[in-house]
């Protein structure tokens, strides 16, 4: 009887150790995957595609134009721009520089907050705005 109990305890211990080991391995693989640039790009592309589809149900979007997408933050310099007057933290904005169209979209309400034309003064300004927003969005996605 005592021998059966010992065998059972050893067997349960081996199974528990196996579960623990596999859990640790899976957690490490998940962490490694999240840091993989290819995975990050894929997830970003999926989010962009999903957002674009949601907005396209509410308004016609330029068909073959890539949108620059950012997340509004009231602490940014955008708060001083009249176009962003009604925007709240977390609202997404889509900028179509070729067609000169800008859209603010509130995902939580599935609602367009503002739509309007944009005037791009120079390519340098566009690149600076993209870099600043991408850096902020990258910092926010890591948190």
Q: How confident is the model at residue 135 (pLDDT cuts 50, 70, 90)?
A: low
């990050």: which residue's tokens?
A: 40
Domain, as residue range, for 136: 60-142
Round to whole Å and give the CA distance between 79 and 102. Answer: 15
Q: Is residue 50 in some structural domain? A: no
Round to whole Å and give the CA distance between 72 and 129. Answer: 13
Can you tell me the mean pLDDT for 53-69? 93
Residue 94: how many CB atoms within 10 A of its CB?
A: 21
**Residue 27's pLDDT is what?**
82
Q: Is residue 20 in some structural domain? A: no
Residue 57's nearest CA partner among 97, 116, 107, 91 is 107
Q: What is the rounded average pLDDT for all residues in the chain?
A: 83
* Cα 55 versus chain centre, distance: 15
**Residue 125's pLDDT is what?**
56
Q: Is residue 45 in some structural domain? A: no
**Residue 120's pLDDT is what?**
65
Q: Is residue 55 in some structural domain? A: no
DSSP per residue over 104-131, as a string?
EEETTTTEEEEEEE-----HHHHHHHHH
Q: Is residue 78 in some structural domain? A: yes
Can you tell me the mean pLDDT for 70-79? 87
**Residue 59's pLDDT is what?**
95
């Amino acid at each position: 009887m005592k021998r059966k109990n010992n065998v059972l305890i050893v067997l349960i211990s081996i199974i528990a150790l196996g579960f623990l080991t596999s859990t640790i391995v899976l957690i490490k693989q998940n962490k490694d995957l999240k840091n993989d640039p290819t995975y990050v790009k894929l997830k970003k592309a999926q989010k962009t595609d999903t957002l674009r589809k949601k907005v396209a149900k509410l308004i016609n979007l330029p068909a073959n134009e890539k949108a620059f997408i950012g997340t509004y933050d009231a602490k940014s310099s955008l708060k001083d721009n009249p176009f962003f007057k009604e925007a709240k933290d977390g609202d997404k904005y889509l900028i179509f520089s070729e067609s000169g169209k800008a859209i603010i979209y509130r995902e939580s309400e599935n609602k367009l907050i503002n739509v309007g034309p944009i005037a791009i003064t120079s390519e340098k300004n566009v690149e600076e705005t993209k870099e600043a927003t991408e850096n902020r969005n990258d910092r926010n996605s890591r948190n």
